[in-house]
Amino acid sequence: MEKLNFVKDGVLRLPPGFRFHPTDEELVVQYLRRKVLAWPLPASIIPEVDVCKADPWELPGDLEKERYFFSTREAKYPHGIRSNRATVSGYWKATGIDKRIVTCRGNQVVGMKKTLVFYRGKPPQGTRTDWIMHEYRLVAGETTACGAPHKKNQTPSHTAAVENWVLCRIFLKKRGGCSTKNDDESIEKGAGKAKTMRHVFYDFLTRENPDLNIPPSASSSCSSGITQASNNETDDHEESSS
């Protein structure tokens, strides 16, 4: 029996000062696996919602924060394995490769995480939005990970539950003037270079040849674009300068 219930009318309501920021491993092991095995959850904090029955902005909860839902996957075709992720106004499209969720010791895979982006319209002419979803699923045969008691003679219904139940984290990707870590590093490197640079000024009006790493015997055509004037032109230049 679940001890704590923080979900009211499908909306997460935590007491003041409490935040729900679980890791990927905690979502898979402590919540999704327990949900599949029908074990008591640490807290009734994740509602059951079919995320593909509504658009992401129509799902319950605060749109400015991350929202978590237990959901089931619907097959796109009767005998296929692809999921139907079409909603009212668009569809969820997978991007990248699935990420393995391993235990804290890193020696056992307990789940997989798929990243999806929401598109408005019909595929393949949909318009990409900033709505992101992380879909967590269990790995078949790994429901006994992390010290969970082994369940013998698992029925086909249990296997179907492992394949159908998923845990979804939905959030709106924010765009703005916030600099990333790479931007900060490039700024720091640029500032370091600026500190080490020295400004060198050359007086090209002097009669002596400035040190431009040019050999004294270099011809006038190879003097970095500076043409040597004749003696008469030099004298005229000096008179005009005076």
Do the domain assignments include residue 25?
yes
52-66 tens-digit pLDDT = 999 999 999 989 999
Of 84, 80, 102, the residue nearest 92 (C-alpha): 84
**126: CATH:** 2.170.150.80
Do the domain assignments include residue 47?
yes
Do the domain assignments include residue 215?
no
Do the domain assignments include residue 61?
yes
- At residue 187, the 3 state secondary structure works out as helix
Do the domain assignments include residue 232?
no
Do the domain assignments include residue 113?
yes
Do the domain assignments include residue 127?
yes
Domain, as residue range, for 55: 7-172
Q: Domain tally for the chain?
A: 1
| Cβ neighbours around 32 below 10 Å, total | 25
| pTM beyond cutoff 0.85 | no
11-52 tens-digit pLDDT = 777 878 888 899 999 999 999 999 999 999 998 899 999 999
Rounded to the nearest 10°, the torsion over CA 49, 54, 59, 64 is 140
Rounded Cα gap, residues 120 and 90, in angstroms = 4
User: Which parts of 56-165 fold into alpha helices (H)?
Assistant: 156-164
Rounded Cα gap, residues 142 and 225, in angstroms = 73
Low-confidence ranges of the chain (pLDDT < 50): 1-2, 144-153, 156, 178-184, 186-187, 190-191, 193-196, 218-230, 234, 237-242
233: left (phi over 0), alpha (psi -120 to 50) or beta: alpha
Of 198, 195, 170, the residue nearest 92 (C-alpha): 170
Do the domain assignments include residue 233?
no
